[in-house]
Amino acid sequence: MRHLSQQELADLLNRPVFHLISEVADSLGMECYVVGGYVRDLFLERPSKDIDVVVVGSGIELARAVASRIGKRAHLSVFKNFGTAQVKINRDNEEVELEFVGARRESYSHDSRKPIVEDGTLEDDQNRRDFTINAMAVCLNRERFGELVDPFDGVWDLEDRIIATPLDPDMTFSDDPLRMMRCIRFATQLNFEIEEETFNALNRNRDRIKIISQERITDELQKIMSSDSPGRGIELLFSCGLLELIFPELYALHGTESVGGRSHKDNLWHTLEVLGNVVKAGAPLWLRWAALLHDIGKPRTKRWEASAGWTFHNHNSVGAKMVPQIFRRMKLPTDERMKYVEKLVALHMRPIVIADEEVTDSAVRRLLFEAGDDIDDLMTLCEADITTKNNDRKQRFLDNFRLVRLKLVDLEERDRIRNFQPPVSGEEIMESFHLPPSKPVGIIKEAIKDAILDGIIPNEHDAAFAFAVTKAAELGISID
Ligand code: ATP
Ligand code: MG
Closest-CA residue, ligand 1 atom 24, reads 130
Domain spanning 6-160, CATH class: alpha beta
Does residue 93 surpass a pLDDT of 80? no
pLDDT of 337: 98
Q: Would you say the CB of residue 176 lies under 6 angstroms from ligand 1? A: yes
Q: Would you say the CB of residue 134 lies under 6 angstroms from ligand 1? A: yes
Parse the chain into domains and list their residue ranges: 6-160, 426-474
Does residue 358 surpass a pLDDT of 80? no
Tell me the pLDDT band of 215, cut-offs 50, 70 and 90.
very high
pLDDT of 397: 85
Closest-CA residue, ligand 1 atom 26, reads 130
Q: Would you say the CB of residue 223 lies under 6 angstroms from ligand 1? A: no
- Element holding 43 (H helix, E strand): helix 37-44
Own/partner contacts of 168-172, CB < 8 Å, gap of 24 or more, are 169/197, 169/198, 169/200, 169/201, 169/202, 170/201, 170/204, 170/205, 172/130, 172/201
Q: Would you say the CB of residue 129 lies under 6 angstroms from ligand 1? A: yes
Tell me the pLDDT band of 303, cut-offs 50, 70 and 90.
very high
pLDDT digits (tens, 9 = 90+) for 26-68: 999 999 999 999 999 999 999 888 999 999 999 999 999 999 9
Tell me if 133 sits within 8 A of 157, measured CB to CB: yes
Whole-number average pLDDT of the chain: 93
pLDDT of 291: 98
Closest-CA residue, ligand 1 atom 12, reads 37
DSSP bridge partners of 54: 33, 101
Angle at 258 between CA 256 and CA 260, to 5 degrees: 170
How far apart (Å, rounded) are the C-alpha atoms in residues 17 and 21? Answer: 6
Closest-CA residue, ligand 1 atom 16, reads 36
DSSP 247-307: -HHHHTT----EETTEE---HHHHHHHHHHHHHHTT--HHHHHHHHHTTTTHHHH-EEETT
Higher pLDDT, 252 or 404: 252
pLDDT of 211: 94
Q: Would you say the CB of residue 316 lies under 6 angstroms from ligand 1? A: no
Q: Specify the ligand 1 atom closest to the Cα of 52.
A: 14
Ligand lying nearest the CA atom of residue 54: 1
Q: Specify the ligand 1 atom closest to the Cα of 49.
A: 2
Does residue 347 surpass a pLDDT of 90? yes
pLDDT of 308: 87
Tell me the pLDDT band of 365, cut-offs 50, 70 and 90.
confident
pLDDT of 124: 95
Q: Would you say the CB of residue 179 lies under 6 angstroms from ligand 1? A: yes
Q: Would you say the CB of residue 157 lies under 6 angstroms from ligand 1? A: no
Higher pLDDT, 147 or 475: 147
Closest-CA residue, ligand 1 atom 9, reads 37
Region 422-432 average pLDDT: 90
How far apart (Å, rounded) are the C-alpha atoms in residues 60 and 39? Answer: 21
Region 79-98 average pLDDT: 89
pLDDT digits (tens, 9 = 90+) for 124-138: 999 999 999 999 999
- Element holding 95 (H helix, E strand): strand 94-102
Region 114-119 average pLDDT: 88
Name the residue among 197, 182, 171, 202 with its Cα closest to residue 108: 171
pLDDT digits (tens, 9 = 90+) for 222-250: 999 999 999 999 999 999 999 999 999 99
pLDDT of 224: 98
Cα 28 to middle of ligand 2, angstroms: 26
